[in-house]
Each structure stands twice: as C-alpha cells, then as structure tokens.
Structure 1
C-alpha cells in the first residue's frame, strides 16, 4: 500500500470522488456569496529573519511563503503576547492573553472547554480541521477532524493522534502534515466553508531536515549576525544570566549532531542531561534507508570536526556551531516552504484561492545567533516579533504593507469577523480586517507582553512589558527587580538600556503610564504574577 493510501486509511476519510472538488463547475455568483474559507498555516519557532519576503534573502530564501506577501499583506510589526510554544497557541485559539486563558507556561494544563474561534466557526456552519502541531494536552475541541502530534512531535516516522487514536506514520513529519492537510481538503464536505489549521512542527529544535534538503543545506555557509559575540554590556542581569548561548548551551550531540562516541573521544561533556539521548532518540526513529542517507552526509562533517577540534579556539567553535545550527534550522524551513507551495497551488488549481484567506505565521520569533542566542522567551525583538503574511484576494490588495502593532490575540477576532460570526466580549484582540483593507482610521499605539516560565530551561527570567512604535519598557521580577528601557529608533538591536539615563526621564514616565494602562485594560496585576508563580513552583517541585 502506498504512503498516501496509508495516510488516507489512518485518517479514516471517506472518498468523495463522485462529488468533485470544491470550486469546480460552480457559478461565480455562487462562489462570491459563500463565506470565506480559512487556511491558517503556523510553523514553530520560524524567525521572521528566515523569511526572504522580510528582506533577508542573504540568509534564506522562502519563495512560496513570499507568494503570500506578494499576493496579499506583509506585517512588519506583528508580535506575540508570550513567546513560548503552548501559551502562544492558546492565545491564538482563544484571542485572550495567557493570564486570561490560563495557559501561562508549558507546564500548566490548557482548558479546552473554554471558547475558541474554531468552535465558534464550527457552530456557524464551518467544517474544521486541525492537522500537525498544537502542543496542548487533551483532545482538541472545535474540530470535525484532528490529527495532531503528541507534545513536540518527531521529525522522522512520527506518531499522530488522529481523532484521539495514536498512530505511527512512516515518512517526514513536514511532508506528512502537508499531505494530510491536502487530503482533508480534497475529501471534506464540499458544501460547507472550511477552516483548516495546518500547523507544522518545523523548524522546532532539534532540527532534522528532510534528506532532499540536508544534502543541500549542509554545503552552505551563512552570514553571521553582527551581535553573535555580544557581551551584554549595557544590559541587566537577565541578559547576562540566560542559558541560550549557541556555544555554551546548545547540545553538542542533539543539536549540532556530533555523534556521542565522538564527544567521548574528544572529552566533550554533555551540555544537558538529555544531550546524547536526544541524538539517539531522534535518529533511532529512522528506518535503515533513512539512517544510511543521513550518515552518508553527516558522518564526514563530524569526522572533519573531530580532526580539527583540538586546534579550535572558542571563537572557532562558535563559528562552527552557528553554521551547523543554521544549516539544519534553515534546512527544516525549506520543507515548510515546499508545503506552502503545494497548498497555494492546490487552492488555485481547484478554484478556491479567490475565496480563501491564507495566513502564514509562527507561534513566536526565534534567535538566529543575534546576541549569540538561539531559542526565544525574551521580550527583545527577535523572539517577540513573529512573521505574519495574509492573502485574501477579495479584500487585500497584492503588495499591502502593514506597519501597525498587531499581536496573536488578534487572530481569533479577525477570523470571526471575516466569517460574520459575533466576536465574544471576552476576546481581548481586535479584528485586523479593516487594517488589511486600509479602512481602519485608528489602531492601538502600544502592546503588552508577559513571560512566566522561570526557573526553567534557558533561564530567561520572568518579565512583562510594553512596546510602542518607538520605545520598549520591560520589568524583570521574581529573583530580581530590574527595569530596562530601549529606544528602538536609535538602538534597534537593543544593546543599551537607557532606563536610568536622565535624557529619557520623560520617556520612562510615559512608558510606565502606558504599562499601567495596559495592565488595567487587559486585567493583569502583580497578584496574577504571584499566583502563577506559586502554581508553577508547586508543579515543578513535584
């Protein structure tokens, strides 16, 4: 049986060959009267810097994702409310800040019983599906069909939980997620509008590209960011005490793909207790053919490293680890971009593109060596800012550029607005519809951020803050009490904290006022911070 037939059988989908594909042979007037379809594509940890539509072709090329920007809108100031996987997805579903939907970190459970936008669309005649990564425990609610990865999922031969039943499907996870999504679109009810959440695991750590891409990307050399060797002078303890430095904190085996036996021969200790275990587990999922192809490419790279290691300085090692990181990270994105191309082609070929809203985003931003870092969590720009591209030919003109401040709380109300569904009063976001059609006369002038998962991996301290068009104010708390203020116009890389600079006294006062206003507006408080801290510590101590 072919892989596609295996997927079809696993999904339990009925053949609708006799019905034909949606959009075929339907009068234009009938199509125009229909509610818009929604294809919401979300990747995991995809930095905006790694999308060429944002002007970063020197680092990476994403021709298919770029098509969405060319045919629709690109957002230059889209941000998350909490830069970590599960909480970001909870915000996306509910349209509410983490402290309102209850999912403040990766530890606390998520309450699926609360409202989410797929539930509301489903109740209003939409056929809904969630395929890929959601990283929220429990059976997803609001979907006619779900095929989700357990937890973080695996790159090779992954398990999917398909309508509650766990099954292992052979293949590469990014391609499988795309194939399942396209198959669901082909076999859905053609008489209903649809909302498909097509969510990729990639490019989440530990970055295992598909064979067709690692053969290419491991030969490439990528430009280093200016701040790769940042010493954090001019910033507070939070920047100094993090544990997300590429050289010091990435796993040698799990992340850089140095074989465990080579680590032993060279006397390289594990970075984390699961360093070697991650390598063995991830590659151990491969079948014999997959592993042979992998070893044929990666073994020579690591053998060369083994030969050079005794003579490499710390600076040399940082250069080497950065390149290894980028080769695998960007190689994973290449498969995501392939899938976006397949999705856009399918919609066009089947007459669905004119009446379908297509969104590409990530659950948060990511560090690609800026400040020497990988991962996310901080309110600094690279992890705070997410990519966002949206096309909808009926209302969004090609090449639209949007510079207003938007956040992931805005997704849910936007989709409901387009679908003609009443937006619940407890949703804290705002529909971006008129922003994209250039009809909005007013928009927010500041956004609010929170981060809670500390002490934990990467040791990014608890903090909250406010960002305006030009300035950013951050408060780090719990085991420290420090404030940071940045002038993003003069210091876009956030290298100098000007909180105590007398020249910024008026700005500091203004930003404190804006922060107080936003905390009151959204319903956040110090009491919330203390409650979530206690709940978190109670769980991690168990």
Structure 2
C-alpha cells in the first residue's frame, strides 16, 4: 500500500511551482494517537527501540521540544483541548466514557475559516459529534479499526480496503491536491496508530526480525511506599493484557487474503507459546516483547506516512511556506512501571512528542526544553495565520519559541487534571502542579485521598514519593501555594467532579447538556451509535 501511495504521490506532483510561497503560511498538523517519545529515535531513548527517519527529518529541519505537556492524559479530552485552547473543565469534555464535544463552542478552525483559511480534518476525530469549522472532514467512527476501516466523509460513510494509516495518508494527499488553492490551508492529518490493540500493517509483521528489546528498569516496579492510587491499577502487563492485545487471536476485520498473511506470521509464534506458556515474570517479559513488536510496527507505519507527506510537500512546492507540526494526544507507557496506556501525571504519559518545521523561521536542528503544552496549539495556529487570539483561550502562542525567543515571563509551572474512573483502567482521578523538577499530586476517589511529591532530580524514574519527608516540608508548602494559584488562573472547578463510567457522578451532574446538533458520528445516516473506548 505504501509503495502505491508513493506512486500516487508522484502522479499528483504534476502541481507546478505556482504553489510557491505567498501570503500566510499553510499549516499541516501531523497527529498520532498514543505515540510515545521513547519510540522516536530523535528523542534518544536509551533502549533505541526504533529508527524513525520520517519523524526525525522534522527534528533535523526544525525544532524538537523536549517538555511538551498535556492537561489530561487521555485521547478525547486532549483533542477537545486542542480544538478550544481550554482545559477540560471549561470545554466540557472530561473523559472518554461519557463526554460529547459541544461543537457549537468557539474553536480555532472556525476562527481560521473567518481568517481566510480552508480547513480539513482527516483521520481519527474521537469527539463523538461531527466536526465543525472544517470545509472538509473525513474521519474514523469512534476509535476506528486498523484493517479495512470505514470512514465518514462529510457525513456519509465510505468503506475502505487496506490499512488505516495508509488510507488516512492517501486521503490526506488527495485533499491536498484537490483543495482550494486560492487560500492557505490548515490540514489536521490524524492517525489512529499506534493505539491499542497495536495492529501493524501486514508488510510490517516481520519488521524487527525477532529482535529482543531491552527492558525498562521499572518493568517490575512494585510501587513500594506509594499511594494505593498508584499500586491498585488495572493497566499492567501483569494483569490487564488480553489475547487480542497479544495477537493470540486475529482481528475480526481482516479479509481472507489479509488473514492468510496474518496467520503466516503469528501462527508459528503462537504455537510455540501455547506449547509451553510462560508464567510469573517470564510471562510479563514475553508480553513486553510482543507488545513492543506490535506497537513499534504501528509506529513504523506512521513514520512512513510522515515521510511520504513531507516528500509531497517538497515536490509540490508547498514545503517552503508550510508550517509542519508533529505531535500526539499524549505520551504512552512502553513497559515503564509495568504499564501500557497513559492517564498518569508521570513523565511518560504527561509528555508528548512535539516537533515543528517552519522554513526560514525555526532553526534547523534546534531543541527547546521550556514547558509547552498542547493547550498552546489553538493560539499558536491563530498566531501563525496572523489572526487574533481570543482572550478566553488558556494557552499561549508558541511562535516566539519557534523563532528561538523565549519570553522572560514564560511559564515555570503547569497544571494537570485527570478525571476518568473507575474504568477502563482504575486510575484514580488526580490533579497536580508540575515544575522542571517537582510534581505535587493529589489523588482523590471514594477510597483514596492522598498526596505525593515526586523529585525528578533525585528520582528521575519516579518510583518514590517524598511527600512525608521532613526535608521537603518547605517544598510541599510552596508547591501547594502554586497549585492554588494555578487552579485560580485556569478557573478550575472546586471541588473537582468525580466522574464515573456512564452518566453518573459522585458529586452531582458535571457534564454540560448534549447540544441539539451533537448527533453525528453515531446517529443517523446508517452509521449506528459508536461507543467510545479507551
């Protein structure tokens, strides 16, 4: 499929250099789901898990941000944050269990449209209502599936044959070629991969040739001395992984030809596993290896997609006047603390990849370690486009940082709040303040009301809480004061809502009413209601 994409791309590249730079820059947002920085070679993880030349090209030709933080480490809520430039408690989308995005509210694509941009979103949307503010949208229903996925194109379901990453890429190139070329564009090209259940393209099933991956030092973290909120979870390789996750059963959406290729790779490995199933730590080690193979195979497909799209920009004459931003809705655990998934305020899920290429503006090969956030994106997009930034947005334009200029008053701390509980992973709701060195966290749930203090300087793996250590008493006091300041600044709702799965809450109704138009991606047009998953 990717080879066919390259040929298709070459055919499309008859576009003349009349597309040369003029007027406001185009904006291309390359977005993935659950993409960990550890899986990107330019981020330099010591395990050297995968080579990602496509993504690395952006690091070589632009800026790599090392500390891009999320406000609420989970898919749907972060997508709502990006659309609105507001925290979950203000945009109304708290979690994946029972939230629906109110598309009638102010969003950056609507403002870009008013500013003369043509806008499109292609790929994963996951906000449970139809996109608004886009001249064109072509999105996966709900979470989408990896093989032969249906997509909803401007309200009509279209069935596709092939692999989801390739199809999203192909649809993106098609839109770029056929767009209104009299206007600058904003394209959000959003991949499903590498979301659970981590199903690679068939061409990548043998991508690592049976490599044995180095294990993270905290694979067998026992959470000694930590809050019950940390130890009593349901997102571990030791307890949560399913047969589908581990490819002991095949995805149901494969067609006959695809299933043959799938079985040819997995059947011999699964037969060996079933003949002598590992137990105890050996089972966790086996699951970790299978997880890494499959997850990284999905990332390999995303990296190929990004390389293909960058080649298109080059050959079509668009590259010089297009700002390319590559990121993910949050980070992800690749075995650290024995986990997969995200949700926690801890570093692997709190930080997300963030790379920017802006020819003539962003210095090639540069890095930035300031605290930035996906919360900043809405204002950044508007600033790039030369449009006003609404005062009620809560982030801050990153354009000065792209230019290598960090304002003297740039943030030194950041506020985080996660809500979803108890399913799917029994991660307790928690909020906290983050600085370069510390994290002060409060966990709250019917059975937990705890504080923890993490010191990344003394304990970079975040395996110990220093909250009860008398030597940190002044630090705790200072951070609690800063936490209160930040909650006031972001207009936090206190006491915070304690959301459960379904339409119930511990402390009363917390979600805004579903707007009348919130019927897309689930009702009518033969699509059937789609339940949000993880």
TM > 0.5: yes
Q: Which sections of structure 2, spanning at least 5 residues, go unmatched?
A: 511-534
**Distance in 2 separating the partners of 1:539 and 1:146:** 32
Deviation at 1:325, TM superposition (A): 0.4
Note if contact 1:218-1:327 (Cα within 8 Å) is conserved in structure 2: no
- What is the deviation of 1:160? 0.1
1:6-25 pair list within 5 angstroms: 21=15, 24-25=17-18
Query: In the alignment, does 2:446 pair up with 1:475?
Result: no
Q: TM-score, normalised by structure 1?
A: 0.89
Residue from 454, 459, 467 that aligns with 1:499: 467
Is 1:47 equivalent to 2:40 in the alignment?
Answer: no
CA drift of 1:407 comes to 1.0
Secondary structure, counterpart of 1:161 in structure 2 = strand
Report matched runs for 1:28-427 at 5 Å: 31=21, 33-56=22-45, 58-106=48-96, 107-217=98-208, 219-251=210-242, 253-259=243-249, 279=250, 283-309=251-277, 312-427=278-393
Supply the distance in 2 between the matched residues of 1:531 and 1:386 (Cα, whole angstroms). Answer: 25
2: CA distance, partners of 1:386 / 1:177: 21
Paired with 1:340 and 1:530, the residues of 2 have a C-alpha distance of: 39
Distance 2:171 2:509 in 1: 36
- Aligned equivalents of 1:468 and 1:244: distance in 2? 26
Decide whether the 8 Å contact of 2:419 with 2:498 is kept in 1.
no
Alpha-carbon distance in structure 1 between the residues aligned to 2:392 and 2:301 = 37
Which of 406, 419, 422 is 1:455 aligned to? 422
How far apart in 1 are the matches of 2:275 and 2:228?
38
Which digits, 9 at most, give the CA deviation of each residue in 1:370-408, with x for residues without a partner? 000001101111111111001101210101111000111
Asked if structure 1 preserves the Cα contact closer than 8 Å seen for 2:429 and 2:498, the reply is no
Please state how far the C-alpha of 1:490 moved relative to its aligned partner. Answer: 1.0
Q: CA deviation at 1:439?
A: 2.1
Change (3 A) 1:211 1:532: closer
The structure-2 alpha-carbon separation of the partners of 1:533 and 1:175, relative to structure 1 and needing over 3 Å to count, comes to: closer
Q: Distance in 2 between matches of 1:316 and 1:20?
A: 55
Kept in 1, the 8 Å contact 2:422–2:500? The answer is no
Q: Corresponding residue for 1:274?
A: none
Distance in 2 (alpha carbons) for counterparts of 1:48 and 1:20: 36
Alignment CA distance shift 1:531-1:215 (3 Å): closer
Q: Find the residue that maps to 1:526 and give its secondary structure.
A: coil
How far apart, in 2, do the equivalents of 1:25 and 1:463 lie? 52
1:400 and 1:436 in contact (8 A); partners too: no
SS in 2 for 1:527: coil
Please report the RMSD computed on the Cα atoms of aligned residues, expressed in angstroms. 2.1
**Secondary structure in structure 1 of the residue aligned to 2:239:** helix
The count of corresponding residues between Structure 1 and Structure 2 is 498
CA distance in 2 between partners of 1:218 and 1:244 (Å): 28
1:223 CA drift (Å): 1.0
Residue 521, structure 1, aligned to residue 497, structure 2: no
Q: Deviations over 1:315-365 (max 9, x none)?
A: 111111000001000000000000000010000111111110101101001
Report the Cα offset of residue 435 of structure 1.
1.2
CA distance in 1 between counterparts of 2:509 and 2:424 reads 15
CA distance in 2, matches of 1:452, 1:218: 40
- CA separation in 2, counterparts of 1:218 and 1:448? 43
Contact 2:420 2:499 in 1 (8 A): no
Q: Deviations over 1:9-63 (max 9, x none)?
A: xxxxxxx99x963x6136x6xx2x4101011011000111111110026111111
Q: Give distance in 1, aligned partners of 2:504 and 2:365.
A: 44
Q: Please state how far the C-alpha of 1:449 moved relative to its aligned partner.
A: 0.5
2: CA distance between counterparts of 1:51 and 1:71? 15
Pick closer, same or farther for the CA change 1:491–1:149 going to 2, 3 Å.
Answer: same
8 Å Cα contact 1:91/1:97 also seen in 2: yes
Q: Secondary structure at the match of 1:181?
A: helix
Say whether the 8 Å CA contact 1:452–1:533 is kept in structure 2: no
Give CA deviations for 1:393-445 in whole Å, capped at 9, x if unaligned. Answer: 12101011110001111001001001011011110000000012122332100
